[in-house]
Amino acid sequence: MKKRIVTTTLALALTFSSVGMPSPINEVSAATTNVYNNQAAVEAKADELIQLGKSLIGKATYSNTEYKATYPYKFSCATFLMYIFEKSGVDIATYNENYMMQQGTYVAKSQLQKGDLVFFDANKTDNEPSDHVAMYIGDNKVLHMADPKQHIVITDMASKPYYTDNYVTARRVLPSLMSANPATKGDKIVETSYSLINKVTMGSVNDETALRFTAPGFVNYVYKTNGVNLGSSTSVKEQMKAGTTVSRSNLKKGDLVYLSSSIGSTTPSLVGIYAGDHRIIVPNSNGVLTRVLFVDYYSQRFLTAKRVFTETVSTAPVAETQADKLVQFAANLTGKAKFGYTYNESTLTFTGAGFTYYVFKKHGIDLKYKLASRQATVGQTVSKANLQKGDVIYFSLDNKGTNITHAGIYQGNNKVLILSTSTKELVSLDLNSDWAMKNYVIAKRSL
């Protein structure tokens, strides 16, 4: 399963060697929040990745010595994922699974969501932290280029000892490898840079009309297109004078990264645009390329980084989403709504599913049924790890978590607004409570 791509058809092989692997990842934090506010885009992108990956089943064969991005496709486990991410407009910038394992955010196995990268290590005697990578597609299943016999398959991670015994970690890459919502100036600079790959010609002159540039000329053009004037610098050394110095640990999208041509030199010869998550976009004589800073060549030649613009932060209040409004409306019924085996809007007396039906009805959404078991057929199923405000959570009442007989509205922060069958009042219940843990059945999204 290990990568050993050597064919010259894969240009990245020149810089992504497997020597000098970084130390294993420190898995301290959990990816439980999406600070980029792009969850809807993330879920749509994950579905796109899965659809593309599945479409290659039966069309691609396993190879760890050759990469072929056209039919008949040839992939290793990592080049397969690199390919489907790239074709879906998401740049991982490496086919080395150990470098992939340092991107994004650590996510616990119990919190996996579609599009997460999952890593395994069967060879625990070497110094490399993983030897196989797959993509999580939901329901404890992964999509991956498995081996020379199976090729691309979908596998339940509980189906074989290989997956249960050799599981290492998982990384959530989609939020950080995509634009925030709304897109920042850094996002826009990165998007402009990517849009010019394979369109510009690198050389010794600058001609915007013909999209022909030197390296600093390309950078000047990208930033000017996004309203940032870097002046008329004609050399990398001169361009490096612009902006304020930032540390490598504090890099943000749109920062400029400067590198020397040889280890120990203090003279910059390369400039790169930081694309987030340790990736850089580098214009040089070979064209506009994307790389990861983990690679020895770039890590050892890093000189400095400069921030040449400031993000404009809006002071206007953030607009409430439909989910925010719905949850707030439901929460405002605390002390007013009560549980009962009826549906009465005038007295605000409802069953659990009657309550959810009423709240959604007030926001123009028809959940169709007031009976929990039937209402649970409405909407898109979501995992417990991926709950969002406004999702409807369905419960049992017998501590078995099987038969759906009750419903509540996810409030955020692991809380559900639900009518208590014992106190008859609307309460905010923690999903980690004993009752919720025993009775949780399923969640649906209708927003």
Report DSSP letters for 382-404, one per residue: E-GGG--TT-EEEE-SSSSS-S-
443: nearest Cα among 399, 419, 411, 398: 411
pLDDT at 19: 29
Which letter, b or e, does each residue of 331-357 get, where b requires 16 or more Cβ atoms within 10 Å of its Cβ? eebeeebbbbeeeeeeeebbbbbbbbb
How does pLDDT run across 17-32, given as a tens digit for each residue?
332 333 334 444 445 5
Cβ-proximal residues to 70 (8 Å cutoff; 6+ apart), any chain: none
pLDDT of residue 124: 85
11-177 fold: endopeptidase fold (from Nostoc punctiforme) (3.90.1720)
Contacts of 195 (CB under 8 A, 6+ apart): none
Rg from Cα positions in the chain: 26
> What letters, b where the CB count within 10 A reaches 16 and e where it falls short, cover 293-312?
bbbebbeebeebbbbbbeee
| CATH for 185-307 (3.40.50.300, 3.20.20.140, 3.30.360.10, 3.90.1720.10) | 3.90.1720.10
d(CA 400, CA 233): 69
Closest CA to 440 of 390, 389, 406: 406
Q: Which CATH architecture has domain 322-445?
A: Alpha-Beta Complex (3.90)
Q: Which residues of the chain have pLDDT under 50?
A: 3-30, 315-318
Q: What is the location of CATH 3.90.1720.10 in the chain?
A: 11-177, 185-307, 322-445
* pLDDT score recorded for residue 320: 64
Give me 175's structure tokens.
């939020």
Reference 352, options 378, 379, 376, 329; nearest CA is: 376
Q: How many residues does the chain have?
A: 447
Sheet of strand 279-284: strand arrangement? 244-246, 302-307, 256-260, 268-276, 279-284, 287-292
